[in-house]
Chains A and B, each alone.
Chain A
Amino acid sequence: MHSFGYRANALLTFAVTILALMCAMASISDNLNHPTPTSQVQVLNINWFQKQPNGNDEVSMTMNISADLQSLFTWNTKQVFVFLAAEYGTPKNSLNQISLWDGIIPTKEHAKFWIHTSNKYRFIDQGSNLRGKEFNLTLHWHVMPKTGKMFADKIVMSGYRLPQEYR
């Protein structure tokens, strides 16, 4: 502590150490938040449903996705990444997950939304298993904090079924 440089160095080191501690505390404080998100998806129309020349089934559909993810946001949240996946089992693969739509929610104000859309990414099965297939639509999200631990969770919505015939 005898010279200007020594004091400046000691202060800077201590200040940065404390800043790291504050960031850790901010991350820990995220655990106090118990989110209660809700979401609903309606499949409005199967636009077309066909077998590709290589034998894989492909579906195009129009959906209405609505969700309220406001409770995921805390003071330490930078953004939330959210995606909707179709999930179903086949004899070959016990779980297939196909991302149909995704989005980035930058602020709490944008976290309550609904969107009328056809699937953003192609819904293609590895094989020909989709006729009459019952599937779940699952809304997954990843909460990206400003500092610290990332959280991920999902809402499973079941009871969707594809038509028996190609169209």
Chain B
Amino acid sequence: MDWQGQKLAEQLMQILLLVFAVVGFLTGYITGSFQMMVLTYAGGVVLTTLVTVPNWPFFNRNPLKWLDPSEAEKHPKPQPQQPVSSKKKASKK
């Protein structure tokens, strides 16, 4: 999941849960049934889980652009000049 996808997942989760909470509370209050409220909300939580927890493709629409490997090879990492001698010095110290 890319950066944009993570932001989207978090916002989706919070908004969906709040909406289902409000809807559940109102249905429960209007129908006069506590069980109705709990069931509506439980359904909402399951749905929100299915939408926001798995790594769906639409969370990966903005992949990070890494440098091409061939580009990286043109600019090799600076290597230490005398790796052996430096190691010895380090071990002596």
B25–A22 touching, CB < 8 Å: yes
Interface size class of B (residues with CB under 8 A): 20 to 34
Contacts of A2 on B, CB cut-off 8 Å? 1, 6
B54–A4 touching, CB < 8 Å: yes
Contacts of A74 on B, CB cut-off 8 Å? 32
Shortest Cβ distance from B36 into A: residue: A75
Expressed in whole angstroms, the minimum distance between the Cβ of B23 and any Cβ of chain A is 11
Contact A22/B1 with A7-B13, A14-B13 known, Cβ cut-off 8 Å: no
A1–B29 touching, CB < 8 Å: no
Measuring CB to CB, which residues of chain A are less than 8 angstroms from any residue of chain B?
1-2, 4, 7-8, 10-11, 14-15, 18-19, 21-22, 25-26, 29, 74-76, 146-147
Measuring CB to CB, which residues of chain B are less than 8 angstroms from any residue of chain A?
1, 6-7, 9-10, 13-14, 17-18, 21, 24-25, 28-29, 31-34, 37, 41, 45, 48-49, 52-55
- The 5 A-B residue pairs with the shortest CB-CB distance, nearest first, are A1-B6, A75-B32, A18-B21, A15-B45, A7-B53
